[in-house]
């Protein structure tokens, strides 16, 4: 019997229970499918090609410039301690038709700064970029300052952008007669969209027949996987891994380069990892990759602790004694701990990262001691991984 689902009366009177059951089952199936998709995405270590490679020629360019910030509330450079600020101020005023070269300047509302920025690829004239402004002299704060027109130069010495605007400071500094308070870094600020691009970097992407993809972490296996993924998608040999860091891509003649690269960069590849242990001895941080393996080795860790406690006591003569003097008598207590509660453990060959950490933690070993143990295991030739000390 057919059900007219558009008839509210039919749905509510004749089939309410069945429709409710079907709806519940559909929702349950959807939740299970979504959960399975999430778990599959989490378990997989695949990454998009665009997240592990850079396209040769599509790169940022670093810009730098020197300028002046004005409008400070007495927190600028002292002209006696920053002679370059005084010279810059005099030169700027002379260009504006004001001659004060023979005058003594005492202003503290001006600061010399370095202006840095990054020119994105394919930036066009008239577009804007963010810039960072940092004090160069002995200024206390750039709060409330305004950057004057500052040319930003590239590595070739050419001007690619011009910056100007009001600074945004993320910190502050206040002081009184007997105390001061500083939060953040008041001598560094940013100007959002503070520079205008004046010169373009010419790069004709659409005229290229081949493009080289540069791996951010060079690896033979990862380069081969990228090549196979692209060739499988394109249905032919359009990608060749020339070395561990480069995959050369030939653009099909019947495809536009932007559309083809958009599809290629969305392909997923699982990057391979080198077995490596990173150690930061300053903070005691240890980071180990999942491919770290240990050959059969016995590990023991014990500490010899000698604790010496001095508790001097005062010795005085008895009451009404005819002779005697008050003296200090030394009392020394020595305790020796040989770490007898430490255990001697055997680490089996080929254990995983989790098993290694659990084995070392079972011995009561902290991060500092673990660093020494890993270095000793590496020296013994039982650690099948690289150790990099930061």
The string of DSSP letters for 95-119 reads HTT---TTSPP---S-EEEEEEEEE
In the chain the first and final C-alpha atoms are separated, in Å, by: 74
Contact 62, 158 (CB under 8 A): no
Report H helices in the chain.
Answer: 8-13, 16-43, 83-95, 220-234, 257-264, 353-362, 367-379
Cα distances (Å, whole numbers) of residue 205 to 202, 212, 241: 10, 12, 21
Interval 277-306 mean pLDDT? 73
Interval 337-347 mean pLDDT? 55
Give the pLDDT confidence score for residue 17 in this predicted structure. 45
Contact 125, 200 (CB under 8 A): yes
Assigned token pair, 250 = 């030939």
Least confident range from 78-92, 151-165, 250-264, 284-298: namely 284-298
Confidence of residue 152 (pLDDT cuts 50, 70, 90): very high
pLDDT score of 12 more than 70: no
Residue with the two structure tokens 């020595």: 334
Give the pLDDT confidence score for residue 65 in this predicted structure. 97
Give dist(CA 344, CA 243) in Å, integer: 46
Model confidence, pTM: 0.64
pLDDT score of 301 more than 80: no
Interval 281-297 mean pLDDT? 77
Give dist(CA 91, CA 371) in Å, integer: 57
Residues 116-145 pLDDT 10s: 999 998 899 999 999 999 999 999 899 999
Give the pLDDT confidence score for residue 305 in this predicted structure. 52
Give dist(CA 151, CA 196) in Å, integer: 10
Give the pLDDT confidence score for residue 303 in this predicted structure. 57
CA-nearest of 336, 335, 332 to 304 is 336
Question: How large a percentage of the chain has pLDDT more than 70?
Answer: 76
Of residues 343 and 270, more confidence is placed in 270
Confidence of residue 9 (pLDDT cuts 50, 70, 90): very low
C-alpha radius of gyration, the chain, whole number? 35
Interval 362-376 mean pLDDT? 75
CA-nearest of 289, 310, 302 to 356 is 289
Residues 70-80 pLDDT 10s: 999 888 999 88
DSSP label of 345: E
Among 25-29, 325-329, 342-346, the range of highest mean pLDDT: 325-329
Interval 48-66 mean pLDDT? 92
Q: Residue 24: what are its φ and ψ, rounded to 5°?
A: -65, -40
Interval 20-27 mean pLDDT? 45
Among 168-172, 204-208, 247-251, 363-367, the range of highest mean pLDDT: 247-251
| Cβ-proximal residues to 4 (8 Å cutoff; 6+ apart), any chain | 10
Give dist(CA 257, CA 122) in Å, integer: 15
CA-nearest of 115, 113, 123, 114 to 61 is 123
């Amino acid at each position: 019997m057919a059900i007219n689902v558009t008839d509210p009366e039919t749905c509510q009177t004749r089939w309410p229970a069945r429709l409710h059951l079907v709806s519940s089952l559909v929702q349950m199936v959807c939740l299970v499918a979504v959960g399975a998709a999430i778990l599959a995405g989490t378990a997989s270590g695949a990454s998009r090609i665009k997240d592990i490679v850079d396209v040769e020629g599509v790169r940022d360019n670093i810009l730098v410039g020197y300028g002046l910030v004005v409008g400070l509330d007495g927190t600028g450079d002292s002209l006696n301690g920053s002679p370059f600020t005084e010279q810059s101020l005099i030169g700027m005023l002379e260009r504006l038709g004001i001659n004060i070269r023979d005058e003594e300047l005492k202003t503290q509302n001006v600061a010399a700064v370095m202006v840095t920025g990054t020119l994105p690829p394919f930036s066009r004239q008239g577009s804007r970029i963010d810039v960072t402004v940092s004090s160069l002299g002995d200024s206390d704060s750039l709060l409330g300052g305004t950057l004057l027109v500052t040319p930003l130069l590239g590595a070739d010495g050419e001007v690619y952008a011009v910056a100007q605007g009001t600074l945004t400071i993320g910190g502050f500094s206040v002081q009184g007669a007997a105390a001061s308070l500083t939060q953040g870094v008041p001598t560094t600020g940013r100007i959002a969209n503070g520079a205008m691009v004046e010169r373009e970097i010419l790069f004709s992407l659409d005229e290229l027949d081949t493009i080289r993809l540069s791996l951010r972490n060079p690896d033979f296996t990862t380069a081969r996987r990228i090549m196979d993924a692209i060739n499988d998608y394109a249905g032919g040999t359009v990608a060749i891994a020339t070395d561990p860091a480069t995959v050369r891509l030939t653009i099909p003649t019947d495809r536009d380069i932007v559309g083809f690269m958009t599809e290629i960069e969305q392909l997923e590849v699982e990057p391979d990892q080198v077995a490596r242990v990173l150690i930061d001895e300053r903070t005691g941080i240890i980071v180990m990759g999942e491919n770290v393996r240990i050959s059969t080795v016995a590990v023991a860790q014990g500490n010899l602790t000698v604790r010496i406690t001095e508790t001097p006591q005062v010795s005085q003569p008895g009451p009404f004694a005819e002779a005697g003097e008050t003296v200090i008598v030394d009392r020394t207590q020595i305790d020796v701990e040989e770490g007898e509660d430490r255990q001697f453990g055997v680490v089996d060959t080929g254990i995983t990262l989790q098993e290694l950490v659990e084995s070392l933690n079972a011995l009561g070993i902290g991060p500092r001691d673990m660093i020494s143990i890993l270095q000793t295991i590496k020296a013994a030739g039982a650690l099948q991984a690289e150790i990099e000390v930061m």
